[in-house]
Structure 1
Amino acid sequence: MNKIISLAVIATSMALWACKKQPVASLPVLSLNKQLISDFHPKEIDFVYLTMKSKLDYSDEDGDVQASVNTRAKNDSVLWFSIGKAGVEGVRALIRPDSVFLMDRMSNQYSNYDLAHLQNLIQADLTYKNLQNLLIGNLIFPITEHDVLIKEESKGYYILMQKKDRIYAESYIRLDNMKLEKVNMTDSSAMSKMNIAYSNFIYSDSLLVPSLCTINVSYNKNGKAYDKNVILTHNKIEFSTKPLNFPFNVPKKYDAK
């Protein structure tokens, strides 16, 4: 897989990485009860259509890559990405709840696979909805009565601890605006972890959204440590009810990969 395809997979599937489990007992329990959960109402973003223009900075053991990313989304239906440099598109990606499509314009190749195949490939059981939530800064998982919630008033945030299948997540929500600020995710079956941070919050169409998203993925494979970093700086974030197009027409000359 060449660099531009790797970049596309990171940019469009960054939420689907596996992580190593950490014990809940390591955190100080300052407050814990069902009433706290029932009164807990983070400010989630609900939208119909979304458009974003972003700068992407990606780094790993092989070096650094910068690119521009155009994103379009229809809530719970489709995520569309166009990734390029200097105004030239290199990769186009389309993600639906059950499938992923990639088109590499540099090598005239395209590929498609179901989401289950991608989950198996990278050993994580996260879903399309989880990826969409990660993109806009919502809680990765919905809140349930089985979750553990801690309120740390002196530090200015809630800590929400959740276990979903193999995935364990700690979400940090600010007390002053009830927005998700940080997520640490681990997986009980893989030697890896992912940390996500949201910052530089701005208002777009009366919705408070993060304009900066930083992601670090670290894991071990075949005895070797890997560390990947993604920084997404959003220059444009727009929500609307006007339908968007999600073009993904593969030229006949392209080879399936």
Structure 2
Amino acid sequence: MSKRIALGLFLAAAVLGGCQKKAIPTKSKASNRPMPEAVRAMNVDFRFLSAKGKAQFDMQGNQQAANINVRIRKDSVIWISASLIGFEGVRAYITRDSVQVLDKLHREYYAGDFAYLSQRLNVPVNFEMVQALLLGNYLPPLNPATEPTVQTDGSVQRVSYEQAGLLVQQLIELGKARVQQLTVNDPATQNKVTVDYTDFRVVERTPQSFAYTTQLQLQQGTTKPTAATISYRTVDVDKERLQFPFSIPKGYARKK
């Protein structure tokens, strides 16, 4: 159960999880590159962001739910806690070059780098990708030489590009200047991942709206789709300087 929660907590990274492994660089400064002028997306800007809500998972008919608490220090730290029936089961502490996961249910922990997520999801993952997908921000190509194709269809802008054999497409709602859908398709395997951002609300102390609901669907061939939904109750931006507590209790076994 804890493994499933841990993977669900990394919903942002799982956007590519249904596609076969490709030669994609794991270290990228995509978030530091300026957004192409033609792309009309506005990313959430902040120093500290906190969000609380519920995550629901449907994996091959097995449904689970957990309360989650997400804290982010922009471009620096992502902290996630998941609780079941009032008891914390999983805590994650992610930086630009490290991933630490505490499994309280099994008194185990992992401490390493992004190879952990890459191995679990069978695709290279980096900090910029996780942060962008948790926030619903525009996700630029990992390869800075890749130029996206931009098309406008009424009130929606369609941004697409090919990345190591994967077809990536983002739909941007021009009225809100926010990404409303991200799809990643692998033509070779016909696997597809779709992430929908809905229930946009203006957050205090920032001009950007935030998607209070994130829905992910993973289709692998003809198997039954795997789905996950995160619904936030509260989202606060720069309300206070956040703490990111993380320590390994005595007696916990390190998971290799």
1:70 equivalent in structure 2 = 69
Find out whether 1:250 has 2:251 as its counterpart: no
Q: Report if the CA contact (8 A) 1:167-1:186 is conserved.
A: yes
2:3 equivalent in structure 1 = 5
Flag structure 1 segments of 5+ consecutive residues without an equivalent. 22-36
2:82 equivalent in structure 1 = 83
CA gap 1:117/1:87 in 2 versus in 1, 3 angstroms: closer
TM value normalised by structure 2? 0.83
CA distance in 1, matches of 2:85, 2:77: 26
Flag structure 2 segments of 5+ consecutive residues without an equivalent. 21-35
Q: Report if the CA contact (8 A) 1:20-1:188 is conserved.
A: no
Tell me the SS of whatever aligns to 1:134: helix
1:141 equivalent in structure 2 = 140
1:219 equivalent in structure 2 = 220
TM value normalised by structure 1? 0.83
Tell me the SS of whatever aligns to 2:225: strand
Q: Report if the CA contact (8 A) 2:54-2:230 is conserved.
A: yes
1:109 equivalent in structure 2 = 108
Between 82-91 and 235-244, report the one with greater CA deviation: 235-244
Q: Report if the CA contact (8 A) 1:133-1:139 is conserved.
A: yes
Q: Report if the CA contact (8 A) 1:18-1:186 is conserved.
A: no
- Measure how far apart 1:39 and its partner are: 4.0
Q: Report if the CA contact (8 A) 2:146-2:161 is conserved.
A: no
Identity %: 21
Between 228-237 and 133-142, report the one with greater CA deviation: 133-142
Deviations 1:151-195 (A, max 9, x none): 111xx2010002333543100011222211101013467653210
Deviations 1:53-72 (A, max 9, x none): 01111111151001100011
CA RMSD of aligned residues (A): 2.3
1:152 equivalent in structure 2 = 153
**Which amino acid in 1 is paired with 2:80?**
F
- Measure how far apart 1:144 and its partner are: 7.4
CA gap 1:128/1:188 in 2 versus in 1, 3 angstroms: farther
How many residue pairs get aligned? The number is: 235
Q: Report if the CA contact (8 A) 1:139-1:180 is conserved.
A: yes
1:45 equivalent in structure 2 = 44
1:170 equivalent in structure 2 = 169
Find out whether 1:131 has 2:123 as its counterpart: no
CA distance in 2, matches of 1:120, 1:191: 21
CA distance in 1, matches of 2:189, 2:115: 17
CA distance in 1, matches of 2:94, 2:191: 24
- Measure how far apart 1:102 and its partner are: 1.1
CA distance in 2, matches of 1:181, 1:169: 14
CA distance in 2, matches of 1:108, 1:18: 26
Tell me the SS of whatever aligns to 1:237: strand
Deviations 1:96-148 (A, max 9, x none): 22221111111111112310343244222332111111111111226977110
